[in-house]
A and B are shown apart, each in its own frame.
Chain A
Amino acid sequence: MAKQNPPLIETVDLCKSYFNDGMETPVLFDIDLTIREGEFISIMGPSGSGKSTLMHILGFLDTPTSGSYLFRGQKTRVLHDDELARIRATRVSFVFQAFNLLPRTTVLDNVILPLLYHPTIPASERTERGMKAIEQVGLTERATYFTNQLSGGQQQRTAIARSLVTEPDVIFADEPTGNLDSASGIQVMEVLQNLHSKQGRTIVLVTHEKTTAEYAERVIHILDGRIATDTRDFKRNHAKNVKHLK
């Protein structure tokens, strides 16, 4: 189904190197990747493989060293900082491993934070949109709580609500269960899966945990800065493998 949708993200020969004291440290090599609208994709790999760097580049937090990145068909290397900020404000959003919520601030105020920087949504709609996003993660009753009064799972759901509030084209989730116990982790993953299956949201999940990656339909393995495998219909294949092993 997702295959027929237009590509949202397309990279061609995308490379990334870091430079320290004139020393070049290459991190990503020749990444060719297409993500279509409505896909739920996991990027897996051991730490240091470059998976987070790839996500940062795809999420407009970082820029590639060479190669091209097209977002909705538009080349991104020609964009200025302000334009990148505008894309981050309107098109993409993030869920972080460490939640990155503002302390001593209510759930609602955290959730509507991106709307402060949104170029078109008027201030009068903020609360309504914020409450709607909070409802989608099931935290309506906690909207006025300070985030430090919440459990880890609730904090991450707050962060997910924050990523929904601008109605972005794609949500990037970077190890969203990394700081959670397994029960909370499952809760958070179910929220994400629902967003995908019920609302057709595009989700890019970065993880090194297989159980978390399994929620996605497509899994990309990154090894030493290259795409090692790209498995579609992951669940079916995976199920087959499991059966086979048995």
Chain B
Amino acid sequence: MFITDTFATARRAIGVNRKRSMLTMLGVIIGVSSVVLMTAVGASMEVLILSQISSIGAQSMVVFPGQKEGVESTLAAGFDSLTFDDVEALERLTTITSVAPAIFVDIPTAVYGREKTQPRVIATTPPYFQNREMPVAVGRVLEERDIMRARHVVVLGSDIADDLFGLEDPVGKQVRLGDLQYTVVGVLEPVGTQFFQNADEFVFIPLTTGRAVTGQKHVNVITLQAVGDFDLAQADVESLLRQRHGIVNPEGDTDEDDFIVRTSQQANDILGAVSLGLTLFITTIAGISLVVGGIGIMNIMLVAVTERTREIGLRKAVGARGRDILLQFLFEAILLTLFAGIAGVVFGVGLAGLAALIVDKYLESYDFALSVPAIGLALAMAILTGLVFGIYPARQASKLSPMNALRYE
């Protein structure tokens, strides 16, 4: 008996009972396809989240005002723990460069001629655009002289520019923000969503202009860059702010701080934790469904052994050894789960593609991504399921006495 004969025999047996084989495989197909689907969604989410946080460069930090005892800071003002004096102090740190404070100016509408739109107005300084990696498409970004003179100039996000000007060139035109007229000096490249906010809906005015309009004494956010060692720079920022705010926090417990430093490292850590959790969750689900599918396979294989008792008897009567029968039924179980695994992968990839199409409509920059190791693992698990759950029925078959098997009605 050659291994190829065993293989051919097993394949034929599956083909003869095609309908039942399909039903048998269903459990494993569902198991494998759900693994593939879930990991694909996970991979897509990872890509999405990565694209959101990659707007903080590796050397960048973002400091938000916070509140003691870890109440989340909100982007929409509220906390006033960061001051312009803090900004000046930060600028003096040698481990830090490119400090750009920003305040959120509450201006609900931007108007140009008869066009009207809802921008998010940010008052900031020139380094902001480098820190946030926002390149200019036409015109220029804010410059030092705009800050010095508190000029009424504005740089538009690409969506706002589209809304107000359409195909017209916005540079040099006047836009009304609230009660005041601003001259458009530049339009940014589309950058998509950052931190799940559409950055193309931002408009930027000089920090000094924003302060004059709002009279605000505190800063909503500070972006800055580390020079040299990142961890050292972060420690400098944190200890400076603690010292200035009179916080005694030698352990570096961030719950004690009244500010939050966000770094790409942190974001990566969070992402890693999230995706680890997701992976564990999916693996558990996959494990359960594969066990359920495997029991289904074992059940059907046991039925097949009973049903084909006479066939087993015949094969033994014409010279099959116990191990020939064992291998035949084991191969059958493994082939079943292999086919089921492949079908599950195809099905799962299809579903993931469909999911990507649908989600993309609601969540910008959600892209189709697959986790190749997960697919390989799911396939391997499926085959292992066949092996594990196929052994018992196969052993039962191999142990049948040929005479009793032949007599079996």
Q: Output the nearest chain A residue to B313 by Cβ-Cβ distance.
A: A100
CB distance from A75 to the nearest CB of B (A): 20
State whether the Cβ of B322 lies closer than 8 Å to any Cβ in chain A.
Answer: yes
Give CA–CA (A86, B403) in the complex, Å. 16
The reply to whether B319 and A86 contact each other, CB–CB distance below 8 Å, is yes
State whether the Cβ of B310 lies closer than 8 Å to any Cβ in chain A.
Answer: yes
Q: B-facing mask of A83-98, CB < 8 A → 1, else 0?
A: 0011011100110101
Give CA–CA (A236, B310) in the complex, Å. 39
State whether the Cβ of A186 lies closer than 8 Å to any Cβ in chain B.
Answer: no
CB distance from B304 to the nearest CB of A (A): 14
Q: B-facing mask of A73-113, CB < 8 A → 1, else 0?
A: 00000000110011011100110101010111100000001
State whether the Cβ of B242 lies closer than 8 Å to any Cβ in chain A.
Answer: no
Contacts A100-B310, A104-B16, A123-B2 given: A61-B318 contact, CB under 8 Å? no
Q: Output the nearest chain B residue to A53 by Cβ-Cβ distance.
A: B403
Contacts A81-B321, A88-B317 given: A102-B406 contact, CB under 8 Å? no
Give CA–CA (A93, B315) in the complex, Å. 11
Contacts A100-B314, A123-B2 given: A117-B406 contact, CB under 8 Å? no
State whether the Cβ of A226 lies closer than 8 Å to any Cβ in chain B.
Answer: no
Among A62, A102, A113, contact of B403 (Cβ-Cβ < 8 Å): A62
Give CA–CA (A59, B324) in the complex, Å. 20
Q: Which of chain A's residues have a CB closer than 8 A to the CB of B317?
A: 59, 61, 88, 94, 100
The reply to whether A89 and B319 contact each other, CB–CB distance below 8 Å, is yes
Of A59, A81, A90, A116, chain B has the most CB atoms within 10 Å of the CB of A116
Among A88, A103, A104, contact of B319 (Cβ-Cβ < 8 Å): A88
Among B12, B313, B318, B402, contact of A93 (Cβ-Cβ < 8 Å): B318
State whether the Cβ of A36 lies closer than 8 Å to any Cβ in chain B.
Answer: no
The reply to whether A117 and B318 contact each other, CB–CB distance below 8 Å, is yes
Give CA–CA (A90, B16) in the complex, Å. 28
The reply to whether A123 and B321 contact each other, CB–CB distance below 8 Å, is no
CB distance from B81 to the nearest CB of A (A): 80
CB distance from A210 to the nearest CB of B (A): 25
CB distance from A95 to the nearest CB of B (A): 10
Q: Which of chain B's residues have a CB closer than 8 A to the CB of A96?
A: 314, 406
State whether the Cβ of B212 lies closer than 8 Å to any Cβ in chain A.
Answer: no
State whether the Cβ of A162 lies closer than 8 Å to any Cβ in chain B.
Answer: yes
The reply to whether B321 and A113 contact each other, CB–CB distance below 8 Å, is no
Interfacial residues of chain B within 296-351, with CB under 8 A of chain A in the complex? 310-311, 313-322, 324
State whether the Cβ of B1 lies closer than 8 Å to any Cβ in chain A.
Answer: yes
Give CA–CA (A103, B9) in the complex, Å. 13
State whether the Cβ of B364 lies closer than 8 Å to any Cβ in chain A.
Answer: no
The reply to whether B311 and A61 contact each other, CB–CB distance below 8 Å, is no
Give CA–CA (A113, B8) in the complex, Å. 12
The reply to whether B2 and A88 contact each other, CB–CB distance below 8 Å, is no
Among A56, A93, A98, A117, contact of B321 (Cβ-Cβ < 8 Å): A117
The reply to whether A123 and B319 contact each other, CB–CB distance below 8 Å, is no
Of A56, A105, A117, A166, chain B has the most CB atoms within 10 Å of the CB of A117
Give CA–CA (A140, B12) in the complex, Å. 23
Q: How many residues from A make CB contacts under 8 Å with B?
A: 28
CB distance from B259 to the nearest CB of A (A): 76
Q: Output the nearest chain B residue to A55 by Cβ-Cβ distance.
A: B403
Interfacial residues of chain B within 203-236, with CB under 8 A of chain A in the complex? none
State whether the Cβ of B85 lies closer than 8 Å to any Cβ in chain A.
Answer: no
Q: Which of chain B's residues have a CB closer than 8 A to the CB of A117?
A: 1, 315, 318-321, 324
The reply to whether A102 and B311 contact each other, CB–CB distance below 8 Å, is yes
Interfacial residues of chain A within 125-140, with CB under 8 A of chain B in the complex? none
Give CA–CA (A104, B321) in the complex, Å. 24
Q: Which of chain A's residues have a CB closer than 8 A to the CB of B324?
A: 117
The reply to whether A90 and B319 contact each other, CB–CB distance below 8 Å, is yes
Give CA–CA (A61, B12) in the complex, Å. 26
Q: Which of chain B's residues have a CB closer than 8 A to the CB of A114?
A: 318-319
Contacts A96-B406, A117-B1 given: A82-B321 contact, CB under 8 Å? yes
Q: Output the nearest chain B residue to A104 by Cβ-Cβ distance.
A: B16
State whether the Cβ of B5 lies closer than 8 Å to any Cβ in chain A.
Answer: yes
CB distance from A124 to the nearest CB of B (A): 11
Of B2, B319, B320, chain A has the most CB atoms within 10 Å of the CB of B319
Q: Output the nearest chain A residue to B8 by Cβ-Cβ distance.
A: A116
State whether the Cβ of A118 lies closer than 8 Å to any Cβ in chain B.
Answer: yes
Q: Output the nearest chain A residue to B6 by Cβ-Cβ distance.
A: A116
CB distance from B37 to the nearest CB of A (A): 36
Q: Output the nearest chain A residue to B320 by Cβ-Cβ distance.
A: A117
Q: Which of chain B's residues have a CB closer than 8 A to the CB of A85?
A: 316, 319-322
The reply to whether A118 and B319 contact each other, CB–CB distance below 8 Å, is yes
Q: Output the nearest chain B residue to A56 by Cβ-Cβ distance.
A: B403
CB distance from B328 to the nearest CB of A (A): 10
Interfacial residues of chain B within 1-40, with CB under 8 A of chain A in the complex? 1-2, 5, 9, 12, 16
CB distance from B218 to the nearest CB of A (A): 82
The reply to whether B319 and A100 contact each other, CB–CB distance below 8 Å, is no
Interfacial residues of chain A within 155-207, with CB under 8 A of chain B in the complex? 162, 166
The reply to whether A88 and B316 contact each other, CB–CB distance below 8 Å, is yes
Give CA–CA (A113, B318) in the complex, Å. 8
Give CA–CA (A162, B319) in the complex, Å. 12
Q: Output the nearest chain A residue to B322 by Cβ-Cβ distance.
A: A81
On A, residues with C-beta under 8 Å from B are: 56, 59, 61-62, 81-82, 85-86, 88-90, 93-94, 96, 98, 100, 102-105, 113-114, 116-118, 123, 162, 166
Q: Can you spell out 28 A-B residue pairs with CB atoms less than 8 angstroms apart? A: A56-B403, A61-B317, A61-B403, A85-B316, A85-B319, A85-B322, A86-B319, A88-B316, A88-B317, A88-B319, A93-B318, A96-B314, A96-B406, A100-B313, A100-B317, A102-B311, A113-B314, A113-B315, A113-B318, A114-B318, A116-B5, A117-B1, A117-B320, A117-B321, A118-B319, A123-B2, A123-B5, A166-B318
Extra A-B contacts (4), CB below 8 Å, given A81-B321, A104-B16: A85-B320, A88-B318, A114-B318, A117-B324
**Which 10 residue pairs are nearest across A and B when measured between Cβ atoms?**
A89-B319, A114-B318, A117-B319, A85-B321, A61-B403, A88-B319, A100-B314, A117-B320, A62-B403, A116-B5
